[in-house]
Structure 1
Amino acid sequence: MHLILKVRGAGAGAVSRLLAKNPHNVYDRTEKDARVRIVYITDTESETEVLIHAEPDPVDLVRGTPNGYDITQYINDREFVTSSLFCSYIRSALGTALNGKPKEDYLQWVEHSFDMELSFGPVASDLPDRVVEELFSSLGYTVTLERDELSYTFDLKKKSTVRRIRLSGQVTVQNALRQLFLLIPVLDNYKHYFISEDEIDKIKRYGEGWLETHPLKELIVRRTLRFSELIRKYELQEGALPVSVEQVGGVNQISDKGINESDKGIQNASAGELERSESPVRLNELRYRAITELVAALPAKRRIVDMGAGEGKLSARLAYISGVETILAVEPSGQSRLRAMERFAKLEDRSGVVAMPEPVIGSLFYFDEQMQNQDVMILCEVIEHIEAYRLNGIMDTIMSDYRPDVLLVTTPNKEYNEVYAMEQESFRHHDHRFEWTRAELVERCEKWAHKGNYAFEIRGIGEYAEGYGQPTQLVIFERRKENQL
């Protein structure tokens, strides 16, 4: 992870004084278990180029995490990408520049706008290119995005979410660093620390003089503060109007089942719904409601399998449905199962619970005889996380071997991505392998149902948009009886 700052023109030699780092010495320190180095590539009166590099210890990054027993904890990009971690590593080294308090002889250069080029990365961002560009072009930068060439033997993705970013423009050293310290975590949308009211102070400090007029201020605030309570406190302090869900809901923020369950499901209420309710209904909430209502109305629902149950949110809701006797919450992730177990433990003393969900280690890729002949099997936002070429085999196993009476499947409607103003080849979550249009889903379902001897019906979930349908597609497969052949 790195940042390169290059300045050309009169006064370029003053940059080292603003950074308070001697160009003739290599800055090499350990900050928060990361090695931070600052090296001057060029240092003349007309041109200065400085590299700021951070190299964290990959073991320290995962030490003490809940899944510390699992070797897969080391499979992540935190060691390499430029994120909030990078900003925390280099903050101490650049404190003088961020505060704008060099030695008195160089105070005149604090407010001087240099001809500057900033290069940093790689950045792993779920934001589409146009939004990344607008975040910086609105500040007067010329923006260039670069991607590495990726060679796969199959079509994994049209575009990598990992990009390197180069900015050029007229800007002070202090403002350039403050903007990056606020916007780099917004790009990555990952926080490695507890988000408290200190984040509000950081927004005010680093956003002074530019954030108030930024066209994507709402997006910046939401991705920085994350929690509604902090956002409300910020709005009250600023005297600002509430952040519009519609303004930020389209910038590729619609999370489905993925790494961070707490971020799942961006708010997707219409303007009218916002006026009627202080707490707009999340798309994920609408999915859960649709599924639980459908299951509750089924004549046979004693035995249920929730495949890819994650942290058990849906399984916990199914536990209240009258007539349900067993719920198998099947999930391959150890960390998610632990959270599900904690969630299920809280159900024990609650009234109305008719069946305690049972966390089960399992995957659609491995046959498990206890999944056979269940009344209901649910795949809520699961299939899009599987390579499309493997789905036919999985659906054949479900319909021919497991043979549930009812199979419920939800998956994103690709056409609706245009309503969210997403780029054509973008996915709603970085782990999605595909997203299908309504016609593509119908074509697949017809093949699966015919081969597996099922009838099916497709419904929509979420706000309807003319010409695009609804954001989520719900497929209801019902197994045909033998006399219906």
Structure 2
Amino acid sequence: MLLTIATTHSPATELGHLLHKHPDRCQSFSLTFGQAHVFYPQAQPERCTAALLLDVDPVKLVRGKGARLEQYVSDRPYVASSFLSVAIAQVFGTALSGRCKDKPELAQTPIPLVAKISVLPCRGGENFLRQLFEPLGYTVSAQSHTLDEEFPDWGQSKYFTVELQHTLPLSDLLSHLYVLIPVLDDDKHYWVNEDEIEKLLRHGEGWLTKHPARAQITRRYLKRQHRLTREALAQLAEEDNPDPDSAEESHAEEEAAVEKPISLNQQRMNAVIAALKKNNAKRVIDLGCGQGNLVKSLLQDSFFEQITGVDVSHRALEIAQERLDRLRLPRNQWERLQLIQGALTYQDKRFKGYDAATVIEVIEHLDLPRLGAFERVLFEFARPKTVVVTTPNIEYNVKFENLPAGKLRHKDHRFEWTRLEFQNWAKQVAEKFGYAVEFQSVGMEDSEVGSPTQMAVFNC
């Protein structure tokens, strides 16, 4: 397997200082699974390229393990995987840590870098590859490989030649590669335990907490071990926000205080329920149910036969359950309800089988780069007959006397759209996934700025 790193930083040969490997020498390093070789195919002041060639010994991989034929006949010696991550850590360890004895300031300086991996398994395809690297600022070029050139009908393989371009410190590039190469491969060649959490947090410091795919990165990096994944995500959440549920509750209260004078929340619930009944949707899933405002209203209406609330926050679901427990309903009515924890940007088979999905004041909490993933989860994979989406109308914010000019209604809102922006988004989604869409105003409508809430109803 081959990794090359090139720069046009001037003078480019300073890459040798950063990697602690002299451009005029070819060096070899013995690893437990083979040999690593470092050399420079190009070393000019204008451009310098360092290569890390990993020669994996397939016999060493299975020695003492009761080897079988399929263990010898595999892609492990030839593709970028956790073997390459280990080689990066051992051969480029000083550069990975961000240290450079001769040029300490250069180690922290963003420089133009191009990393190329000759054969990278991408379990999840090119889209997943881009979801990992593009949010970090990389320009990604990927060339797919056919399964067999003599049999093109067999289709494309999971292997790509990948080129990543960015201007950043070398240590950041190496950290990204160290973590994300095994994530793309979705495997590791060694036993994963609690020590891997520390490695993930150390090499993910400064970027992983804000990465839109951090949950999927964490799960794959830890070989899908649920206990380790939960522990790592909890620590990442603490880094990102020492008390995220408390902050979310506080922000929600602030938003409710802004909208309370016009009773907007109740108007929103009434409009959504009316849309559901109009479309005869009796089995409803509320995505991003929060503390259960809509779920409570649906449960009190015998028209609805099955009601599911989904939220990523355990605390929000606990509060929802506490509120619902106060309802005095016959025992058989409770059988219509379930609350489940889940993320809206990942496929989940539990989201399927409903007449309608409601997404009430949710999309504005998603980072814009993650909207595409959410759209596919909802409109392509879950694909209910009816989808009801509401979101704030930012044009109306000037009408709220207790909202400072230029501020969004909720501190966690990533964006708030104008009426035109929302309608353009909804029409594009409808066209892409085969839905028709209608729009409705919620709340008192102003002749200049419209209504406080805008609603789209999708039908297929």
| TM-score calculated relative to the size of structure 1 | 0.50
The superposition leaves residues 457-482 of structure 1 with CA deviations (integer Å, 9 ceiling, x where unpaired) of xxxxx977449xxxxxxxxxxxxxxx
More helix by share: 2
Q: Is the 8 A contact 1:34 1:89 kept in 2?
A: no
The superposition leaves residues 379-405 of structure 1 with CA deviations (integer Å, 9 ceiling, x where unpaired) of xxxxxxxxxxxxxxxxxxxxxxxxxxx
**Distance (whole Å) between structure 2 residues aligned to residue 176 and residue 160 of structure 1:** 26
SS in 2 for 1:192: coil
Q: Which of 81, 84, 87 in structure 2 is aligned with 1:83?
A: 81
Query: Aligned pair in 2 of structure 1 residues 154, 168: CA closer, same or farther (>3 Å)?
Result: closer
**Distance (whole Å) between structure 2 residues aligned to residue 237 and residue 73 of structure 1:** 36
Q: Which of 176, 179, 183 in structure 2 is aligned with 1:182?
A: 179
**Distance (whole Å) between structure 2 residues aligned to residue 237 and residue 223 of structure 1:** 16
Report deviation, 1:422. 12
Number of the residue aligned with 2:36: 36
SS in 2 for 1:46: coil
Establish whether residue 117 from structure 1 lines up as the match of residue 114 from structure 2: yes
Q: Is the 8 A contact 1:54 1:90 kept in 2?
A: no
**Distance (whole Å) between structure 2 residues aligned to residue 99 and residue 154 of structure 1:** 44
SS in 1 for 2:124: coil
Number of the residue aligned with 1:271: 310
Q: Is the 8 A contact 1:34 1:55 kept in 2?
A: yes
**Distance (whole Å) between structure 2 residues aligned to residue 160 and residue 180 of structure 1:** 21
SS in 2 for 1:220: helix
Q: Is the 8 A contact 1:145 1:164 kept in 2?
A: yes
**Distance (whole Å) between structure 2 residues aligned to residue 191 and residue 270 of structure 1:** 35
Establish whether residue 62 from structure 1 lines up as the match of residue 62 from structure 2: yes
Establish whether residue 144 from structure 1 lines up as the match of residue 141 from structure 2: yes
Report deviation, 1:155. 2.7
Q: State the one-letter code of the partner of 1:171.
A: L
RMSD: 3.5
**Distance (whole Å) between structure 2 residues aligned to residue 89 and residue 8 of structure 1:** 24
Q: State the one-letter code of the partner of 2:45.
A: E
Q: Is the 8 A contact 1:119 1:165 kept in 2?
A: yes
Number of the residue aligned with 1:233: 231
Where does 1:338-353 land on structure 2 (aligned, <5 Å)?
none
Establish whether residue 6 from structure 1 lines up as the match of residue 36 from structure 2: no
Query: Aligned pair in 2 of structure 1 residues 233, 5: CA closer, same or farther (>3 Å)?
Result: same
Establish whether residue 161 from structure 1 lines up as the match of residue 145 from structure 2: no
Query: Aligned pair in 2 of structure 1 residues 76, 206: CA closer, same or farther (>3 Å)?
Result: same
Q: Which of 193, 202, 207 in structure 2 is aligned with 1:205?
A: 202
Structure 2 spans left out of the alignment, 5+ residues: 246-286, 289-307, 318-337, 351-374, 387-460
**Distance (whole Å) between structure 1 residues aligned to residue 309 and residue 8 of structure 2:** 49
Query: Aligned pair in 2 of structure 1 residues 98, 156: CA closer, same or farther (>3 Å)?
Result: same
Number of the residue aligned with 1:27: 27
SS in 2 for 1:148: strand
SS in 2 for 1:233: helix
SS in 1 for 2:29: strand
Report deviation, 1:154. 6.8
Query: Aligned pair in 2 of structure 1 residues 272, 142: CA closer, same or farther (>3 Å)?
Result: closer
Number of the residue aligned with 1:46: 46
Q: Which of 69, 72, 81 in structure 1 is aligned with 2:70?
A: 72
Number of the residue aligned with 1:92: 90
Query: Aligned pair in 2 of structure 1 residues 146, 200: CA closer, same or farther (>3 Å)?
Result: same
SS in 1 for 2:136: coil
Report deviation, 1:228. 1.8
Q: State the one-letter code of the partner of 1:142.
A: T
| TM-score calculated relative to the size of structure 2 | 0.53
Q: State the one-letter code of the partner of 2:40.
A: Y
SS in 1 for 2:215: helix
Number of the residue aligned with 1:127: 124
Q: Is the 8 A contact 2:117 2:163 kept in 1?
A: yes
Report deviation, 1:277. 6.3
Establish whether residue 173 from structure 1 lines up as the match of residue 212 from structure 2: no
Query: Aligned pair in 2 of structure 1 residues 65, 121: CA closer, same or farther (>3 Å)?
Result: farther
Q: State the one-letter code of the partner of 1:74.
A: Y
The superposition leaves residues 19-53 of structure 1 with CA deviations (integer Å, 9 ceiling, x where unpaired) of 11111211112111311000011223332111101
**Distance (whole Å) between structure 1 residues aligned to residue 8 and residue 377 of structure 2:** 40
**Distance (whole Å) between structure 1 residues aligned to residue 348 and residue 105 of structure 2:** 53
Report deviation, 1:270. 7.8
Where does 1:70-469 land on structure 2 (aligned, <5 Å)?
70-103=68-101, 105-149=102-146, 150-153=148-151, 155-157=153-155, 159-225=156-222, 226-238=224-236, 239=238, 271=310, 276=338, 420=377, 465-466=384-385
SS in 2 for 1:168: strand
SS in 2 for 1:65: coil
**Distance (whole Å) between structure 1 residues aligned to residue 143 and residue 379 of structure 2:** 19
Query: Aligned pair in 2 of structure 1 residues 214, 98: CA closer, same or farther (>3 Å)?
Result: same
**Distance (whole Å) between structure 2 residues aligned to residue 278 and residue 201 of structure 1:** 29
Q: State the one-letter code of the partner of 2:44.
A: T
Q: State the one-letter code of the partner of 1:234.
A: A
Identical aligned pairs, as a percentage?
Answer: 28
Q: Is the 8 A contact 1:12 1:114 kept in 2?
A: no
**Distance (whole Å) between structure 2 residues aligned to residue 55 and residue 110 of structure 1:** 28
**Distance (whole Å) between structure 1 residues aligned to residue 43 and residue 379 of structure 2:** 42
The superposition leaves residues 197-228 of structure 1 with CA deviations (integer Å, 9 ceiling, x where unpaired) of 21221122111122222121121111112222
Q: Is the 8 A contact 2:145 2:158 kept in 1?
A: no
Q: State the one-letter code of the partner of 1:219.
A: Q
Deviates more, 1:135-144 or 1:206-215: 206-215
